[in-house]
Structure 1
Amino acid sequence: MHKKKAIAVAVPAALLVAASVSQPVAWAAPGERSAAAMPGDPRGGQRGGNDPGGQMPGDQAPGDQAPGDQAPGGQAPGGQAPGDQAPGDQAPGGQAPGTGAPGDGQNQGGQDQGQGGQDQGQGGQGGQGQGGQDQGQGQGVVPGPNRGDFAPIAQAPRRNQPRVGRNGSRGTFVSRCGTNQNRHHNPDNFITAPGVRNGAHHTHDYVGNLSTDGQSTDESLAAAGTTCARGDKSAYFWPVMRNRTQRDDSPTAAESAADGNIGRIVLPVEARMEFRGNPRSKVVAMPRFMRVITGDAKAGTNGTANARALWTCSGQENRGFTDKYPLCPRGSRLTRILEFPSCWDGQNTDSANHRSHVVFPDQSGACPAGTRAIPQLRMTLRYNLPNRPLAFALDSFPEQAHKPVTDHGDFVNVMPDSLMRTVVNCINSGRRCS
């Protein structure tokens, strides 16, 4: 049942040089570098486990922290609070926004990969951190975010959730995977840029499968260890958050700066990977090795048709932004909620644009004709970050200017079949399980 597709496009060097000075192209993904191992990310075993300084210590409420100061204490062992973690990094890399001929997005992504390599090659080695945004960045980096990308949470629109009907499924299952205490980081995306080093041009947090990187395959994922309980070897990943008032002292700081991603990586204090039911029907098991993405890493240039980010604050999840970072009241934590599509075509584990095989329900919660409901993954990520405009931002592709609308996530199901049956039974029977 497994269907995996990868499309490689060879582009002459002369065209790449010309492309590096052109305007961004919709569906095109900035490029990849060579498959050299990332410092601190030895091939084999756990990836990216050594990323010193990758997190802002402390458990301070937003707004309490002065620029450049770290909040003391309150932090769980391993640099963050234990948590149930949630999701993946969506399909950067030329992913089609759900339209167009299959494969178009990946072909163009291949072209842009060369362009990205060119941009990075021209970047300097300069400094980074506060005041260092323009140093060491390659050509094609669009500065951002700006003050207009931030707003008080009180200005966010309210969320409308469909009611669960008589035939709906009310249960939940939480996969307890931690919060990336082991600092598994890399800028790869094996779903949309398989076999490519730095295929995402932004760093990901990973929980679950310990081997996830650009070289991952079904076989390597199945053979690896996991941070999740109950043998869940699934890969969950998403772009990191950074405190831009502090310097990035990780092994990949220069590489990140060349792509325009600066500041200290901040791990979530809570990462909840929760599978939910469908408001109109029972759910069926998703197949092993299914790839599922949410959001659009290039929504800044593609448009917002596939933008699915929800930016909110703890205790105020009834409202949220898609296109702004929220400024949270004292004692409330910045929160990202990433909900994944959950209406499966019943046949494929992937598709050319990584979207067509599994789509979102309609506004009532019903799945389109010809699809069936599967457990819906919801990733909830909470952070301690300075509560000020420009002090924090999401990692992004170089030309996406760290816009909050580009938030996204990725997931590959590597649960044992027995565990997936447990998930389905919990959801359909209305229980809350973990």
Structure 2
Amino acid sequence: MFSTYYENIDKAEIPYPQDFFAIAGNATARNQSDVNESTTGLTWWCENGPEDRQNRNRALMPRVTCSGNIQVILRFPDCVQTSNIKNYAYAAANGGRCPSGMKRVPQLRFSVRYNVRSLIPKGWSGTPPLKLACGEVGEGYCFHGDFINGWFDDAQENLLKATSRNQWMRVDGARGQGKAGTTCGPKDRDPTKGTSDYLKSVEMMDMH
């Protein structure tokens, strides 16, 4: 299950610029030192326990059988230079403030839950028999994500009204009410182009 949350909205100075995109995480990470947890927050754990993060690198998958879902979170950059939207950063890397010349935007958090109980009914102890396309068995270091701004301006303005840190709200806009959920039907506009090869996809998506 994939969920997105927008955090620190009370600190945001502007909504996301149109055409803004950002990448979080490191697709080539192979150890904890390759993961900047202080900014990305990249962490794997068992959603309903047991808790084992004190005994392992936090960006590794759990070393014990999860009673519920395996969950991972990833936070995205929350500072952007409006004159060059390809230039973005984390406020957390700058003492909680955006670098000079940048504006603060809401911070996007990916929260992904994997239900593997039916796949691994006997569970595991130690390295789990799970593998990300970008990593090795049992690792989670290379988990990463892409964000491409698809917000309409009026809805973004409503998003910025959620100024309480603990407030949860659906976002309404001229094109629909948040409680209605997704009403669009995504479709690949060019299905003949693309690749299922991970390394090739990284090469094709070279945006930096």
Q: Equivalents in 2 of 1:317, 1:425: separation in Å?
A: 37
Equivalent in the alignment of 1:304: 34
Q: Aligned-pair distance for 1:345?
A: 1.5
The alignment partner of 1:406 has SS state of coil
1:414 aligns with 2:150: yes
| Partner residue, 1:369 | 100
- The residue that corresponds to 1:120 in the other structure is none
- Secondary structure, aligned partner of 1:411: strand
TM-score for the superposition, normalised by structure 1: 0.32
* 1:328 to partner: Cα distance: 4.8
The whole-number CA distance in structure 2 between the counterparts of 1:370 and 1:317 is: 44
Q: Contact (CA 8 Å) 2:25, 2:35: kept in 1 or not? A: no
Q: What amino acid is the match of 1:365?
A: G
Query: Which residue pairs with 2:13 in the alignment?
Result: 283
- What pairs with 1:71-110 in structure 2 (closer than 5 Å)? none
Matched, 1:324 2:60: yes
> Does structure 1 residue 342 correspond to structure 2 residue 73?
no
Separation in structure 2 between the aligned mates of residue 319 and residue 360 of structure 1, nearest angstrom: 28
Shift of 1:278: 5.7
**Cα separation, 1, equivalents of 2:25 and 2:168:** 27
Distance 1:333 1:312 in 2: 9
Determine helix, strand or coil for the equivalent of 2:98. Answer: coil
Corresponding position of 1:401? 136
Q: How much does 1:433 deviate? A: 1.2
Partner of 2:47: 314
Contact 1:283 1:427 in 2 (8 A): no
- Provide structure 2 residue ranges, at least 5 long, that are not aligned to the other structure: 171-208
Report how many aligned residue pairs link the two structures.
Answer: 154
The alpha carbon displacement at 1:342 in A equals: 0.5
Contact 2:62 2:128 survives alignment (8 Å): no
Aligned counterparts of 1:334 and 1:361: Cα–Cα separation in 2: 28
Cα displacement string for residues 57-100 of structure 1 (whole angstroms, at most 9, x for unaligned residues): xxxxxxxxxxxxxxxxxxxxxxxxxxxxxxxxxxxxxxxxxxxx
Percent of residue pairs identical: 21
Alpha-carbon distance between aligned partners in 2 of 1:317 and 1:275, rounded to the nearest angstrom: 27
Indicate conservation of the 8 Å contact 2:49/2:67, yes or no.
Answer: no
Report the residue type matching 1:314 in the other structure: E
State the secondary structure of the residue aligned to 1:421. helix
Structure 1 319/291 Cα, relative in aligned 2: closer, same or farther at 3 Å?
farther
CA positional deviation for 1:362: 2.4
Find 1:392's aligned residue among 126, 130, 152.
130
User: Taking structure 1 as reference, are residues 323 and 345 closer, same or farther at Cα in structure 2, changes over 3 Å only?
Assistant: same
Summarize the Cα distance change of 1:319–1:276 in structure 2 as closer, same or farther, 3 Å threshold: farther
Secondary structure, in 3 states, of the residue corresponding to 1:297? coil
- Which has the higher Rg, Structure 1 or Structure 2? 1
- Give the Cα–Cα distance (whole angstroms) in 1 for the partners of residues 143 and 164 of structure 2: 30
Alpha-carbon distance in structure 2 between the residues aligned to 1:428 and 1:371: 23
Mapped contact 1:278–1:366 kept (Cα < 8 A): no
Gapped runs of 5+ residues in structure 1?
Answer: 1-269, 351-356
Alignment of 1:197-208 (within 5 A): none
Contact 1:338/1:408, CA 8 A, preserved across alignment = yes
C-alpha displacement at 1:343, in angstroms?
1.1
Supply the distance in 1 between the matched residues of 2:7 and 2:136 (Cα, whole angstroms). 33
C-alpha distance 377-324 of structure 1, shift in aligned 2 (>3 A): same
Cα 1:318/1:424, change in 2 over 3 Å: farther
Query: Cα deviations across residues 127-172 of structure 1 (Å, max 9, x unaligned)?
Result: xxxxxxxxxxxxxxxxxxxxxxxxxxxxxxxxxxxxxxxxxxxxxx
What is the SS of the residue equivalent to 1:327? coil
Conserved in 2, the CA contact under 8 Å of 1:282 and 1:373?
yes
Give the structure 2 partner of residue 271 of structure 1.
2
In 2 relative to 1, CA 430–392 (structure 1 residues): closer, same or farther, beyond 3 Å? closer
Cα deviations by residue, 1:241-293 (Å, 9 ceiling, x for unpaired): xxxxxxxxxxxxxxxxxxxxxxxxxxxxx3211111167x3431111221111
- Residues of 2 paired with 1:282 and 1:376: CA distance? 8
Aligned in 2, Cα 1:433/1:326: closer, same or farther, shift over 3 Å? same
Shift in CA distance, 294/322, structure 1 to aligned 2, threshold 3 Å: farther
TM-score, scaled to structure 2: 0.62
SS in 2 for 1:422: helix
- CA deviation after TM superposition for structure 1 residue 349, in Å: 2.7
Q: CA deviation at 1:428?
A: 6.5
Q: CA deviation at 1:430?
A: 6.6
Residue 425 of structure 1 is matched in structure 2 by 161
Residues in 2 aligned to 1:317 and 1:278: alpha-carbon distance in whole angstroms: 32
Distance 1:310 1:383 in 2: 14
Name the Cα RMSD after superposition: 3.0
Conserved? CA contact 2:9–2:165, under 8 Å: no
Partner of residue 185, structure 2: none
**TM-fit CA distance, 1:361:** 1.5
Deviation at 1:347, TM superposition (A): 2.2
